[in-house]
Every structure is written in C-alpha cells, then in structure tokens.
C-alpha cells in the first residue's frame, strides 16, 4: 500500500522545501499535500519524479525491500507474462479486472500506482522494475535501529572528512612555514 507520509519524512530528513518537490514533480502544492496525507495516490510519472528528486527507490513509498532512471515501461509487464508463462487473464483477475483493455491501459498508458503495485506484487518484483531503474538506492530508515545505523554511518563519514581536513590544514601550515622561511 502506498505510504505518502514517507514523502514528508524525506522532506524533513533531507531538509528540503515542499515547494521544491512539487515544482520538480510538476504538480500543484495541494496535490502534493493530498499525496502526503494519503487522500490522493500519484500516477506513475509523478511518483517517479518524486523518487528522482530524493534519489530513492520507488519501493520506499510502499515500504518494500527490493533495490532495483528511465520513464515507465509497461512492456516489462508483457515480458514478465511471457517469461513466467502466465496468461493475461490470471494477472487481470489478480488486479481485480477481467477486461483485456485494462491490460493494454496498464502496459501502454500511465497506470495508477495502486494498480501498478498490485502488478509488482503479482510478479514478486520491485516497483522499480517497471521503470527499468538500476541504481542501488539506500533504504529509508523505518525503525530506531535503522536510525542508529544511519546516524553511525553519517558520523563515521563526518569523522573521515574532519580527519582529511586536519591533514590538509597541516599540509598548508607546512607549506606556509616553508614559504615564510624562504623570504
């Protein structure tokens, strides 16, 4: 199920403005607010733009674990049906429709995220599969232990940066001392 509140969490974690998100996604402020509240579910193009803005996997908005940058490619669904030798009707039944027109709409159109999530669940694949996204994304923290690991990783990185800075300062001080001795 789509979790719009994760967008709010990303906005806070990454210290960005909501305005930057809705402008990047080319949607209205009210639309973004409704997506965050869960009263509006974004279409695939909007969801991909939001994921791109934060440089995260689409799956985090569903609290999925898969780590699988292009636009939506519905032909991936056709290929999965062929590879797994699954009749179209079986997929259509799973997503709650029997009309072949619905499959064409999903493959060739811009399906809702809710419908695409059902397709991902049916095949047991990441949502990113349908966007042919190959970046390894970092999973967003969802528990206290995840937060601790995340912050420990950040602290370690900051300590490395400080150490490097200190080494550069020492080098610059040595160069400065040599230059002052020559004059």
Q: How far apart are the first and last CA of the chain?
A: 71
Per residue in 90-112, pLDDT (tens digit) is 888 888 887 666 777 777 777 77
Number of H helices, E strands in the chain: 9, 0
Residue-level pLDDT at 63 = 61
Pick the CATH number of 75-131 from 1.10.760, 1.10.260, 1.20.1530, 2.60.120: 1.10.260
Stretch 27-32: mean pLDDT, rounded?
A: 94
- pLDDT for 120-157, tens place per residue? 889 888 887 887 665 545 555 555 555 677 778 778 88
The answer for residues whose C-beta is within 8 angstroms of residue 82's C-beta and 6 or more apart is none
Predicted local confidence at residue 36, as pLDDT: 93
Q: Indicate the class that CATH gives domain 5-62.
A: mainly alpha
Q: What is the pLDDT of residue 158?
A: 84
pTM of the model: 0.44
Are 62 and 3 contacting, i.e. CB atoms less than 8 angstroms apart? yes
């Amino acid at each position: 199920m789509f979790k719009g509140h994760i967008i709010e969490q990303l906005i806070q974690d990454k210290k960005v403005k909501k305005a930057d998100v809705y402008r990047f996604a080319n949607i209205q402020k009210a639309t973004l607010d409704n997506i965050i509240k869960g009263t509006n579910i974004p279409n695939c193009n909007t969801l991909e733009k939001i994921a791109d803005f934060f440089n995260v996997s689409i799956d985090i908005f569903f609290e999925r674990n898969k780590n699988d940058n292009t636009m939506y490619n519905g032909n991936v669904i056709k290929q999965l049906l062929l590879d797994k030798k699954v009749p179209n009707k079986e997929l259509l039944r799973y997503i709650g429709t029997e009309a072949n027109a619905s499959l064409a709409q999903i493959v060739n159109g811009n399906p809702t995220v809710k419908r695409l999530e059902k397709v991902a669940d049916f095949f047991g694949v990441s949502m990113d599969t349908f966007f042919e996204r190959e970046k390894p994304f970092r999973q967003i923290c969802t528990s206290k232990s995840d937060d601790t690991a995340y912050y420990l990783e950040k602290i370690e990185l900051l300590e490395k940066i400080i150490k490097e800075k200190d080494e550069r300062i020492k080098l610059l001080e040595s160069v400065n001392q040599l230059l002052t001795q020559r004059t």
